């Protein structure tokens, strides 16, 4: 197709409201990087004027905060769910890992953005602190499992918490919605993390 007849790249028109604008902004942040994305880039991607964007959000930082709050709320919602607050420590840990994967799958762009923040802004530093608090809660559960004799006594709870988070967080690099074999991904990841991948002897 010649350059003269090639179709022009069309902006993604928002379906309406702040929610769709946030979705577009998160896509741009993940593609370009937050620091490299300007309000001009966002308004162009949304197919609206900057003033229309400012009608819903005061600026880039407000968009970032809204996006990261959505991801953080999803993760802490996992910790607060009834199935994560009852049962033995290992049962609770397994439930949390499974539900973490489910949140990641449902909120993939938002969790991806959360995992990419580096602490360059006040909002990013807040998000990093919330991630540390989440890991600390997991470490506490691992410690409870050690005390209950459900986990080996030589396991470092902080290390175990980081390993479990690493297993879940790595999924953002390869998970794509609708890919065959991912329907049971939350249960499959939890089983691999707590049962292993080798056959029972």
The reply to whether 141 falls in a domain is yes
Same-domain pairing of 53 and 70: no
> What is the tens place of the pLDDT at every residue in 45-81?
999 998 988 889 999 999 999 999 999 999 999 999 9
The CATH code of the domain that includes 37 is: 1.10.10.60
Indicate if the pLDDT at residue 1 is higher than 60: no
For the residues 153-175, what does the mean pLDDT come to? 93
pLDDT category of residue 17 using cuts at 50, 70 and 90: low
Give the pLDDT mean for 151-176.
93
pTM of this structure: 0.86
The CA-based angle 167-101-36, given to 5 degrees, is: 80
With respect to residue 201, please indicate whether it lies within any of the assigned structural domains: no
- 87 and 172 in a single domain? The answer is yes
- Give the pLDDT band (50/70/90) at residue 19: confident
Across 83-100, average pLDDT: 95
Q: What is the CATH number of the domain that holds 159?
A: 1.10.357.10
pLDDT exceeding 90 applies to what percent of the chain? 78
Tell which of 40, 57, 74 closes a domain. 57
Q: Which is more confidently placed, 92 or 197?
A: 92
* pLDDT for the residue 2: 37
**CA 150/CA 96 separation, integer angstroms:** 16
Domain that holds residue 131: 66-195
Verify that 70 and 128 share a domain, yes or no: yes
Residue 129 shares a structural domain with residue 181: yes
Calculate ∠ Cα 101-184-27, nearest 5°.
45
Specify if 200 maps to a domain.
Answer: no
> Higher pLDDT residue, 86 or 11?
86
Q: Which of 37, 57, 77 is the last residue of a domain?
A: 57
Whether 29 and 104 share a structural domain: no
């Amino acid at each position: 197709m010649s350059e003269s007849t090639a179709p022009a790249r069309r902006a993604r028109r928002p379906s309406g409201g702040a929610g769709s604008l946030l979705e577009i902004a998160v896509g741009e942040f993940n593609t370009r990087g937050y620091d490299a994305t300007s309000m001009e880039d966002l308004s162009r991607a949304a197919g609206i004027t900057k003033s229309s964007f400012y009608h819903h959000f005061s600026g880039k930082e407000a968009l970032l905060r809204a996006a990261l709050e959505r991801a953080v709320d999803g993760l802490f919602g996992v910790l607060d769910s009834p199935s994560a607050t009852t049962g033995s420590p290992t049962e609770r840990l397994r439930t949390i890992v499974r539900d973490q994967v489910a949140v990641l799958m449902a909120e993939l762009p938002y969790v991806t953005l959360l995992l990419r923040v580096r602490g360059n802004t006040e909002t990013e530093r807040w998000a990093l602190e919330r991630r540390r608090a989440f890991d600390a809660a997991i470490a506490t559960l691992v410690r409870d499992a050690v005390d209950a004799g459900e986990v080996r006594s030589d396991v470092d709870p902080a290390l175990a918490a980081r390993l479990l988070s690493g297993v879940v967080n790595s999924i953002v690099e390869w998970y794509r919605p609708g890919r065959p074999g991912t329907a049971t991904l939350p249960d499959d990841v939890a089983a691999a993390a707590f049962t292993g991948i080798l056959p029972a002897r």
